[in-house]
A and B are shown apart, each in its own frame.
Chain A
Amino acid sequence: MLQKITTGGEKVIQCLEREGVEVIFGYSGGAAMPIFDALVDSKLKLVLVRHEQGATHMADGYARATGKPGVVLVTSGPGATNCVTGLLTALMDSVPMIVLTGQTITSMLGKDAFQEADVTGITYPVVKHSYLVKNAADIPRVMKEAFFIATTGRPGPVLIDLPKDITQGPCPAPFIDTVSLPGYVIPGRGNPALLAKAAALLQRSRKPVLYVGHGAVISGAGPAIVALANKLGAPIVNTLLGKGACPEDAANHLGMLGMHGTAYANKAVANCDLIMAIGARWDDRITGKLSEFCKDAVKIHVDIDVAEFNKVVRPDVSINGDARLVIEDLVPLVERAETTDWWKEITAWRKQFPLKYAKKGGLRAQYVLDRLDKLGGRECIITTDVGQHQMWAAQFCLTTKNRHWLSSGGAGTMGFGFPSAIGAAMATGKPTWCVVGDGGFQMTSCEMATAALQKVPVKILIINNSYLGMIRQWQELFFDNRISGADLEGNPDFIKLAGAYGIPGKRVKRAGDVDKALRWAMAYNEGPCLIEAEVVKEDNVFPMIPAGAAIRDMIIEKPKVRMEKPSGST
């Protein structure tokens, strides 16, 4: 009897199994057929999506919710190019992801074969690393390295381009358990001398602020940061992606900082004498005008990526290492700092500038999200799309658990929210709220088929103002209210649209109906459901620091006078 020879495709799938992969998000196609064929005999679960971009965001949501790499399998040419946005999203936010792309047979590479695209070439700038496998014997090594690279150090997406003859042909190569990557070093603990220096500076500070980013979420540094904050008597602020690292409902937590952060968080940052960034990268949404940003404050920067030091801000102390290990080592080195007066100031700001919104004049998105928070949103994973609803959700939906807040930060990818919720719900089984705008939802709404098929407990909350609200807000504030390309007339009936996929939905138009609808969705866990909140069409997100302005130029409510066009990036 002939012994069956393992094909390259089977080897790929076996390598995935050995890496502990459980789910693949994919879309089939000609050049990927040998790999899809190998899936028939595998216990790996294949989630067939409706568009490759959806697959990448699902894998992204899966990875953000668990820390495990999300895996995508698509075909060559257009299948692969549809993944570019998802790769960028994952790279910008340091999300571990493996993207397997089919490719034309090696003898046809570069000859404009059907559905051929130079995928490694197209994706160089949006991957942490990539491979074009031209020899089946390389498959075990490449797969092992890819997972190692994607998940270690600063995580990121890795792409593997697999020509069809390689996956179809035999691959007798043995599995590999070690990797050899000279020059690739994974930072661990911080330099003791620098830790001591940071501790001394923290000790001397009278107005410290701990500024927590996504790196703290990824490394699980939250408890250590809370311990440090408590011991020092320092307030915590977090970035959009840092939400959840430390519980936002704690007394020493001031919420989100930056362009649409809370006024008291921004006041604290603007007036601090020391700011310590933990797994955060001084993004332009945070700093505003750089020359004014914390210009007299001592800056300490903890990051796993040395390239972040001196990139935007020149810190006084830069500690390279894993955020959790660094902060754990730092906690024993500090004592309580003298911050009583600082807290008096902060408490006064909290009283003077609370988050607020108009209660009259129709249903407000802020009210809906506030109610979501109060009715159990903190127990659920919340994913968002990009725009006004994202900022309101960040402000009003407090995140108290690590990896419970998923949002596209660096790339600001519209269309991210819904598929990422599917991935997160599949990974965790937890009820997952997906807060989206009417614009972004339509970019990936075809994945309702995937969600319905997989029966995931995803609760879609559409904040529908029939506008690209953030664009409209800028045009109102900075462009003399000349609305251009922001009016989404022609939106579908979202309840009917959901109904077409067999997803139950409820429309909410009045504040009085919000609780009932939210409770209904909370109780419905048999599959996805949808709430469409028809909110006030023209509302603005405040506080706001115009792009490129200094933090002290923050506006709390709509100014009476016309404002200058912002100078900062986007």
Chain B
Amino acid sequence: MASSSTTSPRGTNFELDPGKAPRKLSVADITTPPLHTISLLVRNKPGVLVRVSLVFSRRGYNIESLVVSPAISTGGIEGAPGEFSRMTITCSGDPDTLEQIIKQLEKLIDVVHAIDHTGQSVIESELVLVKLKADLKNRTEILQVAENYRAKVVDYGPESLILRCAGDSDKIDALVGLLRPFEIIELVRSGKILMARGLEET
């Protein structure tokens, strides 16, 4: 391996200047567990998803959303098409456990890198499909909501509508909230994907 003697590039995000390293914060300070978003670049091998999810489940943590897709460019790593995948994971957890989770993810052989984007400025996006019961009475109203949220009507039936909307998770939450008074038959969300801004690595 080319870089066999380099020191500690893994988990370096956590090697704070030791002299200034804050002592452990009291967990009681945290009222609601914040959601964290982690992006992973992984080798596209059978079992990689199990290995990743075991890191969470072993600690009793649940994955809120998970998106896996083939990676095209891999930031300086030569890979055949289909050799790498990207995962975007949203989860909750206290900061100490999350730090362990990221480090344990990075230890997995099939994980090339794991980056916690919590608190970073990133481009994030999510897709939602909503199937609604729509009759003559409320169709106009639904279409008004859809228009305001730039949601597209992708299926237009005599008794139903399917709306498709993309955007950050807050926007999707708001749209779903507004549609809730109408009769939602089915709702599918893609889970959050994200990308770091500028030349930062995702």
Contacts and interface: CB of A to CB of B under 8 A. Distances in A.
B77 A310 contact: no
B7 A314 contact: no
Interface residues of B, number: 42
Given A124-B50, A125-B54, A310 B14 contact: yes
B89 to A, nearest CB: 17
A41 B150 CA distance: 71
Interface centre among B10, B12, B46, B113 (most CB of A within 10 A): B10
Question: Which 6 pairs show the lowest CB-CB distances between chains A and B?
Answer: A183-B112, A320-B8, A307-B103, A306-B11, A188-B5, A129-B109
Given A185-B6, A188-B5, A197-B19, 9 more contacts: A130-B47, A181-B1, A187-B8, A188-B6, A188-B7, A305-B107, A307-B11, A314-B23, A320-B8
Contacts of B69: none
Interface string A356-391: 000000000000000000000000000000000000
A307 B4 contact: no
Nearest to B58: A125
Contact of A184 (B1, B19, B51): B1
Interface string B70-107: 00001001010000000000000000100110011011
Nearest to B14: A310
Contact of B103 (A186, A191, A306): A306
20 contacts: A124-B47, A124-B50, A129-B108, A132-B47, A180-B1, A183-B106, A183-B111, A183-B113, A185-B1, A187-B7, A187-B8, A188-B4, A188-B6, A189-B7, A197-B18, A306-B15, A314-B24, A318-B18, A320-B7, A321-B7
Contacts of B79: 182
B9 interface: yes
Contacts of A188: 4-7
Contacts of B46: 132
B3 interface: yes
A352 to B, nearest CB: 34
A120 interface: yes
A33 to B, nearest CB: 25
A185 B9 contact: yes
A540 B8 CA distance: 44
Interface string B39-62: 001010011001100100010000
B21 A314 contact: yes
B7 A191 contact: yes
Interface string A161-183: 00000000000000000011111
A181 B18 contact: no
Nearest to A188: B5
A186 B4 CA distance: 5
A97 B14 CA distance: 30
Interface in A242-273: none
Interface of B: 1, 3-12, 14-15, 18-19, 21, 23-24, 41, 43, 46-47, 50-51, 54, 58, 74, 77, 79, 96, 99-100, 103-104, 106-113
B8 A316 contact: no
A147 interface: no
A183 B43 CA distance: 10
Contacts of B108: 129
Given A120-B47, A149-B109, A179-B1, A310 B18 contact: no
A310 B112 CA distance: 22
Interface string A295-320: 00000000001110111001111101
Contacts of A180: 1
A492 interface: no
A197 B16 CA distance: 13
A287 B108 CA distance: 28
Contacts of A182: 43, 74, 77, 79, 112
A511 interface: no
Contacts of A129: 108-110
A132 B48 CA distance: 12
Contacts of B43: 182
A181 B109 CA distance: 8
A121 interface: yes
A438 B12 CA distance: 48
A121 B6 CA distance: 33
Interface centre among B4, B103, B104, B109 (most CB of A within 10 A): B109
Contacts of B58: 125
Interface string A109-139: 0000000000011001100111010000000
A315 B23 CA distance: 9
B3 A185 contact: yes
B10 A306 contact: yes
A13 B86 CA distance: 36
B163 to A, nearest CB: 39
A162 B115 CA distance: 34
A194 B18 contact: yes
Contacts of B106: 183, 306-307
A546 interface: no
A437 interface: no
Given A132-B47, A314-B24, A317-B18, A306 B8 contact: yes
B190 to A, nearest CB: 26
A186 B19 contact: no
Nearest to B102: A307
A136 B51 CA distance: 24
A188 B4 CA distance: 8
B109 A128 contact: yes
A190 interface: yes
B18 A186 contact: no
Interface centre among A129, A182, A197 (most CB of B within 10 A): A182
A182 B9 CA distance: 12
Contacts of A318: 15, 18
A173 to B, nearest CB: 17
B98 to A, nearest CB: 11
B54 A124 contact: yes
A318 B111 CA distance: 23
A186 B8 CA distance: 8
A304 B14 CA distance: 15
Nearest to B111: A183
B19 A191 contact: no
Contact of B1 (A130, A186, A309, A317): A186
A309 B19 contact: no
B194 to A, nearest CB: 20
Interface in A379-406: none
